[in-house]
Amino acid sequence: MFSTQTLFAQGVTADLQIANPDGGHYDSGDSFIATLLIFDEDGNNLRIDQFEDNGLRVLELWVSGPRHNYNSVGRYVEFVILSTRNGFNGNSGFDPETGEIEIELPRNGLENGTYTVIFEIERQFQNGILNIFPYADFQVGQDEPTITNSIRYLSCNSDDCHEAPSQHNTDDLTNCIICHTHDYNFPWDDIMHSLREHQDNDVEGDCTDCHRANADIDKYGFTACTSCHRDTGHGHPYANCNDCHWGEIYRWMNEFTPSSPRAFDLVSPDNRDEIEGQPVSLSWEESPNNDEGDIITYEVKLGLDSRFRNYVTFDAGESTSIDIDGIDYNRNYYWRVRASDLNQLGRNSSQNWRFSVVVPGQTIAFRNGWNLISFNISPVEEFWTIEDGPDVELIVEQLRIDEDNLPVEIVKDELGRFFVPEFGFNSIPYWNLEDGYQVKTTAEIESTFEGSLIPADTDIPLGAGWNLIPYYPLYDLMAEAPDFDALAPIIDHVRIAKDIEGNFLMPELEFSNMLPWSPGNAYQVYVDADVVLNYARERNAVASFSTLEKENKSGHWRSPSPTDENMSLLVKEINGLTPQLGDQIAVVNKIGRIVGVGNVDEKGLCGISVWGDDKSTKPVDGMLKGELLGLKLWDSDKNIVINLKALSKKKVIYVKDSFVVINAIAKVENSRGYFVSPAYQNPFNAVTKIDYLLPEATNVTVSVCDINGKTVATLQDGVLKAGSYNSVWDARSSASGLYFVRFESDLFNHAQKVMLLK
C-alpha cells in the first residue's frame, strides 16, 4: 500500500493508504481502493457515520493530476461524503466501518503523470475548527514520478526558496499544487510569503525562473508580485517596483495578454438523440487557436438535469472526442464541454445537449439441456398477440436454427403448464414477464430479442411458497452470505433460493454457495409470505470482491448435469470429522450413481443440489421420489473417500423442491447395520461425545475405561429403541491421559481410544 502524507494536523489525524497497482502504475479506466482512517487526539477511531458525537463536519474527496501540467481529474467533489448541511452521504460509496472507497479513473483521455488522492477533513474540537488534508500520490502510465514545472503559476519546487511559508506548515511547496491548481477555486493569492524569504536564504538567479507572468512572456509577473510581496525592503509597496523595473515587469493594461478559448459547438450525438447501446461517443469542435503556443484541454460534464446539479466530469485532454461507458439505459443525460487554456485563466463552455441510451436488445444464451431464463426487456410488438404478455410460441420460434431444426424440447412455467413444439401442444396462455421459465434445449444456442428495457426496480410479486422469478437488472448482484444483496429487500421472508446449477442460499443459516445473479437467468425462491421484490440499484462503489472459489473445478467429483427438478441438502457437521475447504460431499442413489456434488466452504458447511430423475429421458439420471440418499465425503488432503450416514430420526429421502439440513457421521460398518462415529472432539480437554445408530431395540452400555481397564464413567446403560443417539463424557474431573470408550450391545461391540489433554 502507498502510505499517507498529511498537510496539517492538530487534534485530528488520519491514515490514508491506496492499493499498490500491478506493474507499478495505473492506466486509464483502472479502479483502486483508497482506505482512510480518522483518529482523535487519543488515537481513537472517528467514524464518519457517527459525526454527531465525534465532531466531524466535512469529508470531501478529489483526485488531482497530472501534477506536471495542473490538470484536475474527476475531483469527486460532487460526491461529498460528509457535509455540515446534509450529514453523512450513504450513497457516496464510502464505507464508514472500513474507511474504504473505490476510485475509478477516466477511461479515456487520461494523460500519463503523477496524480494525487486528497481528502479534506474538518472537525470541531475544543471550540475550534480543525482541518487536515491527507493525501497520497500514485502514477498513471509511468513508474517514476514526474518533476513538477509550472506553465501558468509560480513554480515552487525549490527547497532553497520556500521554507514553510504557508498556513499548512509544509516544508515542501511542491505539495501546494495539490490544492492550488487552475481547476480549483482556491487562488494562489491566498499563499503569502515575502521577498525577505529570498534575501534571508541568499537566493540567486533570475526570478522569472519561478515567477513568470504567463506562458511565453519572459517577464516578472505583476500579479504574482502584488499578491505575494507586500514589502520589498525598499520602503514602499511592491506595486511601485515598475517605477524602476518598467521593462522587466509584465503589466496587463498595456501589454499583450493571452486570450481565452473561443466559442465552439458540440458535434455528436445530435441534441435529443437516442443512442443504441454503449459506449456513447461524444465529439465537439476544436476551440479556435487564439495565440501561438496555446495548449487547450477539454473537460466533459455529464449531468442528470439541465442545470447540472448532479454530474460527473471526464477529462478529454487535448482530444475533441471521448467514449463513455457504464451509464444507465433509458435515462436522459445532459452534457457540455469546457475548454481551458493552460496559458491563461480563461475558459469557455459549449451549449448543453441531451441524449439517452436505449437497449439494443437482450441476448440469452441457452446451454444444451435444462435452462432457467427470464427477460429484462419487454419484447417488441411482433411477439404480442394479446395484451397480457408475449406469445410463448412466437418467443420459442425465435430460437429456430433453420426450417427443420427447432432445438427446443419443452418450455415450462412455475405452475407446471408446458409447451412441447414437437407435438404442437401448449397450455401456457402467454409469457408472463414477471416470471422465469424452464426451457430444455437439444443444442447450445444464443438468440437476441429486441425490446424496451424493464427498469431494474420494477415490482416482482411473490406468493408464499415457491416462485420462479425473473432478473431485471443489467448488472450483477451478489448472493453470498451474510448480505444476500440480490434478495436483500425481502431477505427476512426468504427460506431458500436456487439457481439452474442447484446452488442455493439459506439466510436463516447464513449460508450461500450461489454465484452472483446475472441478466438472462431466472431463479427459484421460496418465501414464507406474500411479498414484492424490487431489485437493489447497483452500488456506487464496489468496495470489496469475494475471493471465495464458488466451485471446485479440480475436485474429486464433477457435478451431474441439471435436470428439471431437484432438492437442496445442507450438511452442517460431520461428527468425528472436520471437513475443510476443498473437500467434497457427494449424494448417490441406490445404484451408486452420483446425483449431486457440493463443495465444503470455509465454515465447514456443504450445500448440495440433489437432482431428480428427468422423466423426459429414458435412462434414470437422478433420484426417484422417496429414494434414500447415500452420502460420501472426499477428503482432499488424504485423497480418500469416506462413507457417511445421516444423523436423523427420519429417513433422508428425495422429495422434489424440499430443503433438508442434517448432521452426519462417518460410518463404522458391520454386517448387522450398527453405526458408531469416532469421538468428537479427539483429542479433547473437557468434553467429547460419540454418536451411534441402532437398527433395532437392544440393551446398550457406553462406558469409559482407563488404560488399566478400570471403568471411570458410564454414559449409557439400558435398553434403547431403534434410532440415533449420542453419549457425552464430561471429563473435567478426570486426569489427563489415554482412555477407551466402549460401546456394547447384544449383537455389536466397538471400542475406540480418546486422549484427554489439560
Contacts of residue 288, Cβ cutoff 8 Å, sequence gap at least 6? 262, 264
DSSP of 58-101 = EEEEEEE--TTTT-EE---TTS-SEETTTEE-TTSS--TTT-EE
Taking the C-alpha atoms of residue 162 and residue 171, their distance in angstroms, rounded to an integer, is 8
Pick the closest to residue 171 from 158, 183, 180 (CA basis): 158
CA distances from 681 to 105, 484, 677, 756 (A): 52, 33, 11, 10
pLDDT band of 675, cuts 50, 70, 90: confident
User: Do the beta carbons of residue 186 and residue 178 sit within 8 Å?
Assistant: no
Give the burial class of 511: count Cβ atoms within 10 A of its Cβ; 0-12 exposed, 13-18 middle, 19 or more buried: buried
Residue that has been written with the C-alpha cell 473437500 in this structure: 583
Contacts of residue 660, Cβ cutoff 8 Å, sequence gap at least 6? 567, 568, 569, 570, 652
- Which fold does the domain 675-756 belong to in CATH? Immunoglobulin-like (2.60.40)
Q: Calculate ∠ Cα 450-452-457, nearest 5°.
A: 130
Phi/psi of residue 286, nearest 5 degrees: -80, 135
- Give pLDDT tens digits for 144-165: 776 443 333 333 333 433 443 3
Give the burial class of 217: count Cβ atoms within 10 A of its Cβ; 0-12 exposed, 13-18 middle, 19 or more buried: middle
Does the pLDDT of residue 544 top 90, yes or no? no
C-alpha cell at 293: 503556443
> What pTM, to 2 d.p., does this model score?
0.47
- Give pLDDT tens digits for 68-90: 544 444 444 456 788 877 888 88
- Give pLDDT tens digits for 178-215: 444 333 333 333 333 333 444 444 544 444 444 444 43
- Which fold does the domain 266-358 belong to in CATH? Immunoglobulin-like (2.60.40)
**Does 5-146 carry CATH code 2.60.40.1930?**
yes
Helix then strand count (H, E) for the chain reads 4, 53
Taking the C-alpha atoms of residue 409 and residue 441, their distance in angstroms, rounded to an integer, is 6
CA distances from 610 to 410, 635, 658 (A): 22, 20, 10
pLDDT band of 612, cuts 50, 70, 90: very high
Residue that has been written with the C-alpha cell 446452488 in this structure: 503
Contacts of residue 381, Cβ cutoff 8 Å, sequence gap at least 6? none
pLDDT of residue 545: 27
Tell me the torsion sign for CA atoms 178, 180, 181, 185. positive
Judged by average pLDDT, the poorest of 150-164, 589-603, 642-656 is 150-164
User: Do the beta carbons of residue 504 and residue 519 sit within 8 Å?
Assistant: no
Domain boundaries, given as residue ranges, for the chain? 5-146, 266-358, 376-443, 460-533, 566-666, 675-756
pLDDT of residue 546: 32
3-state DSSP assignment of residue 672: coil
pLDDT band of 124, cuts 50, 70, 90: confident
Contacts of residue 100, Cβ cutoff 8 Å, sequence gap at least 6? 33, 34, 35, 94, 541, 543, 544
Taking the C-alpha atoms of residue 554 and residue 121, their distance in angstroms, rounded to an integer, is 49
- The one-character DSSP state at 261 is P
Q: How many residues does the chain have?
A: 758
CA torsion 464→465→471→475, rounded to 10°? Answer: 90
Taking the C-alpha atoms of residue 45 and residue 53, their distance in angstroms, rounded to an integer, is 12
Amino acid identity for residue 448 in this structure: T
Residue 358 belongs to what H/E stretch? Answer: strand 353-358
Domains 266-358 and 675-756 agree in fold: yes
pLDDT of residue 70: 41
B/e letters for 12-32, b = 16+ CB within 10 Å, e = fewer, are bbbebbbbebeeebbeeebeb
3-state DSSP assignment of residue 36: strand
Mean pLDDT of the 303-321 span: 86
pLDDT of residue 551: 39
The Cβ of residue 115 has, within 10 Å, a number of other Cβ atoms equal to 26
User: Do the beta carbons of residue 275 and residue 34 sit within 8 Å?
Assistant: no
Judged by average pLDDT, the poorest of 12-16, 161-165, 441-445 is 161-165
Mean pLDDT of the 426-452 span: 94
pLDDT of residue 179: 45
> Euclidean distance between the first and final Cα of the chain, in Å?
43
DSSP bridge pairs for 498: 504, 524
Most confident of 238-252, 466-480, 556-570: 466-480
User: Do the beta carbons of residue 35 and residue 17 sit within 8 Å?
Assistant: yes
Give the burial class of 78: count Cβ atoms within 10 A of its Cβ; 0-12 exposed, 13-18 middle, 19 or more buried: middle
3-state DSSP assignment of residue 351: coil
DSSP of 297-333 = EEEEEEESSTT-SSEEEEEEET-SEEEE-SPPSS-EE
Mean pLDDT of the 523-544 span: 76
Pick the closest to residue 494 from 478, 474, 514, 510 (CA basis): 510
CA distances from 161 to 27, 164, 165, 209, 435 (A): 35, 10, 10, 12, 72
Which is more confidently placed, 672 or 349? Answer: 349
Q: Report the top-level CATH class of 566-666.
A: mainly beta
Residue that has been written with the C-alpha cell 437392544 in this structure: 698
C-alpha cell at 97: 466501518
